[in-house]
Amino acid sequence: MNSRSRTHSFIDRRSIRYPLARLIASTVLVAIGLALVSDAILLLDNVRADIRRNMTSAANAAGSAASAAVVFRNAKAAREVLRMFEAYPEIEAAALYTNEGVRLASYGNDSLLPADAREIAPATPDIGLLADTTILRVPIEVDDAPAGTVYLHARLESYWHTYLTSIATTFLVGLSAGVLALILAMRFLNRIIQPVRMLAEAANDARLRQDYIPRGIPAADNEIGDLVRNFEALLAEVEAGRKSLQSQHDELERLVADRTAELLAAKEAADEANTAKSRFLAAASHDLRQPIHAMRLFQETLSSTPLNDEQRRITDYLALSTRNLGEILNALLDVSRLDGGVMKPHPEVVPAYALLRDIEAEFAPLALAKGLRFKFYFPNRELMLFTDAKLLYSLLRNLIDNAIKYTHSGGVLVGFRRRRGSALIQVWDTGIGIAPDHLGTIYDEYFQVGNPQRDRTQGLGLGLAIVKRVARLLGGEIGCHSRQGKGSTFEVSVPLADVAEREADDHASKPATGIATSSPFAGMRVVVIEDDVMAALALELSLEAQGMNATTYPSAEQALADARSAQADFYVVDFRLPGLNGKQFLDEMQKRAQQPIKAILLTGETRQAMLDSAPSPGWKVLFKPIESTALLAEIAAQSVSRQNS
């Protein structure tokens, strides 16, 4: 690299050299500035101290020598004493005053001296920064009695000259050191930047020419050299992969041509088998979703590689098409499974709070992104639903998704109301509303309000068709009230769990000890640590429904501070907590316990994020969302294994 290219790279704001050089120069200048300021402050204090010390010493010496002359009013002797100030070139004027304030003798410029010493009070020199002059008045005492006054008036140019010279010397030394450091740093930067620049040029050349043959860049024995060698190895792998991909592409084209002929021949047979599509799709839903999942992964991997603008545009269209295909296929599979009778409801006791918590986690960010209010309404007393949790959540998910999609201002409200033996669940919105003549057709397949052009970005039009089928599967009907331009309300009734009768049956069947004998968990003491109020309440209700005694804490520190925590039979702890995390809490409880404790860590992290946060958790980990059956199964498994051991 010649000197001209070096100069160009130095002033090029896109070069890494520019910010590094600016950082080094800024650091040097700040260091010089700080050193200069601190040196100036220290020197200023020293100069002021020297001035006070010299003037006070001279005044005291004159006062001691002239004490007799002042007492006896001997002006001649007093003038002789004042001649001592000829040795102090900075003193312009000096005088001796009697105790009555009369000037007895003077030295220097009399115009600078007061006529009467009583006009001024005794004072030490007042020395401002770069002040031209200062004065000092010192009393003369004989046998501890005041006899007169010494008055001095001095110029300070010599002191400030010395002060400024010292500062200038410090600045020049610091500047020289900074320039030397900057020169050395720039020379060191060249050793880093040159191979990086060569890498950038090689990468750009490979991209433009589509030539991935290794370039033979020199590599030193350091981290930059490792980067160069890895880049060369990557080029070799990309070239080999490109050749392999081309071969596979040719083979794929041949296979596509063969399969196209076969598909044309099989079309007639496929039309005849169309009546069995619902059961087939329902049974093969997993196999059909897997290729789309793989397509998404391949597309995301391709997008993360270096691509030109045209390739990037094509991958973006591919991502959009894959996402739309996945949404369409999921909707079609859901309809097919519902029509084919494959989906069967599995009713269980479902806490409404847990359902609301999941809804809030999924849809609150979507509403916030559109600037909409997203609220809930539910009674103070917990509602326990008796329904299939997954199917009900699927139904509500479609309704809330539609509400947010077609609402542009205002908000969405999800309400739970108690209606005798059932819960009325309503989804209100302030969206575009539905015309009265469309209320009978909104549940038909592929019907969409306000989308006559069939814009696929607004969905396929199967959401409400699925809602209607799921509602019937759960034993209810979906209802709708709407005013065009004002908003809509969708509602469905869900049976309530007969909690009161179940509790009465439990009490009637309890033995004298008050513990239900029908539950394997009866009487088990469980500590729950969860900082999310809704999640903690859901866990507490779920565990107590099995006869356990659950105690909840919002943080690990509060649980550790409570002595009852050490008496627990089992611990259910969220991993991500304020302060100590769940693993740290369990490790601390294990240290305090005399025998191994039984515990489960809950986490909403991905598996990789969990491994990054706690590489060796040492405790059983369940990933949210967690079904109560899985939680109870793990508690039972640990209890049985501990008893057998």
CATH of the domain at 444: 3.30.565.10
| Domain harbouring 62, CATH code | 3.30.450.20
Looking at the fold, whether 352 and 485 belong to one and the same domain comes out as yes
Q: How far is CA 584 from CA 308, 354, 550, 597, in A?
A: 48, 27, 21, 14
In the predicted model, residues of the chain with pLDDT beneath 50 are 1-5, 7-10, 274, 282, 286, 290, 293-294, 297, 453-457, 499-517, 607-609, 611, 615
CB 167 within 8 A of CB 36: yes
pLDDT in tens, 123-157: 566 677 777 888 888 888 888 888 888 888 888 88
Sign, CA dihedral 339-342-344-350, equals negative
Looking at the fold, whether 450 and 372 belong to one and the same domain comes out as yes
How is residue 144 written in tokens?
């501890």
CB 363 within 8 A of CB 373: no
Number of domains in the chain: 4
Looking at the fold, whether 460 and 556 belong to one and the same domain comes out as no
Looking at the fold, whether 357 and 393 belong to one and the same domain comes out as yes
> 315-337 in b/e burial notation, b at 16+ Cβ within 10 A?
beebbeebeeeeeebbbbbbbbb
Looking at the fold, whether 534 and 632 belong to one and the same domain comes out as yes
Per-residue confidence (pLDDT) for residue 553, from 0 to 100: 93
Looking at the fold, whether 359 and 334 belong to one and the same domain comes out as no
**Has residue 203 been placed in a domain?**
no
C-alpha count within 13 angstroms, C-beta hemisphere, residue 234? 12
Given the structure tokens 């009978």, which residue do they identify?
A: 440
Looking at the fold, whether 399 and 338 belong to one and the same domain comes out as no
Looking at the fold, whether 355 and 473 belong to one and the same domain comes out as yes
CB 499 within 8 A of CB 543: no
- Distance, CA of 246 to CA of 249 (rounded, Å): 5
Model's pTM, two decimal places?
0.34
Looking at the fold, whether 445 and 527 belong to one and the same domain comes out as no
Per-residue confidence (pLDDT) for residue 559, from 0 to 100: 92
Position 94: which residue type?
A
Looking at the fold, whether 326 and 415 belong to one and the same domain comes out as no
| Domain harbouring 586, CATH code | 3.40.50.2300
Q: Which domain, by its residues, includes 158? A: 42-162
**Has residue 572 been placed in a domain?**
yes
% of the chain exceeding 90 in pLDDT: 9
pLDDT in tens, 153-188: 888 888 888 888 888 888 888 888 878 877 777 777
Cβ within 8 Å of residue 110, ≥6 positions away? 93
**Has residue 201 been placed in a domain?**
no
Q: Which of 322, 327, 334, 323 is nearest to 281 (CA)?
A: 334
Q: What is the DSSP letter of 497?
A: P
Q: Which of 515, 539, 519, 523 is nearest to 602 (CA)?
A: 539
> 233-269 in b/e burial notation, b at 16+ Cβ within 10 A?
eebeebeeeeeeeeeeeeeeeeeeeeeeeeeeeeeee
- Distance, CA of 469 to CA of 335 (rounded, Å): 8
Per-residue confidence (pLDDT) for residue 525, from 0 to 100: 93
Question: What is the DSSP track for 569-591?
Answer: SEEEEESS-SSS-HHHHHHHHHH
Looking at the fold, whether 578 and 465 belong to one and the same domain comes out as no
* Domain endpoint, select from 497, 528, 562: 497
Cβ within 8 Å of residue 325, ≥6 positions away? 292
Position 111: which residue type?
S
Per-residue confidence (pLDDT) for residue 293, from 0 to 100: 47
Per-residue confidence (pLDDT) for residue 580, from 0 to 100: 92
**Has residue 270 been placed in a domain?**
no
Per-residue confidence (pLDDT) for residue 528, from 0 to 100: 92
Per-residue confidence (pLDDT) for residue 602, from 0 to 100: 87
CA angle 298, 301, 304 (to 5 degrees): 150
**Has residue 213 been placed in a domain?**
no
**Has residue 207 been placed in a domain?**
no
**Has residue 639 been placed in a domain?**
yes
Residue 375: strand pairing partners: 413
**Has residue 200 been placed in a domain?**
no
Per-residue confidence (pLDDT) for residue 232, from 0 to 100: 78
Task: Quickly list H helices, 83-220.
Answer: 157-209
> 29-65 in b/e burial notation, b at 16+ Cβ within 10 A?
eeebeebbeebbeebbeebbeebeebbeebbeebbeb
Looking at the fold, whether 475 and 554 belong to one and the same domain comes out as no
C-alpha count within 13 angstroms, C-beta hemisphere, residue 639? 16
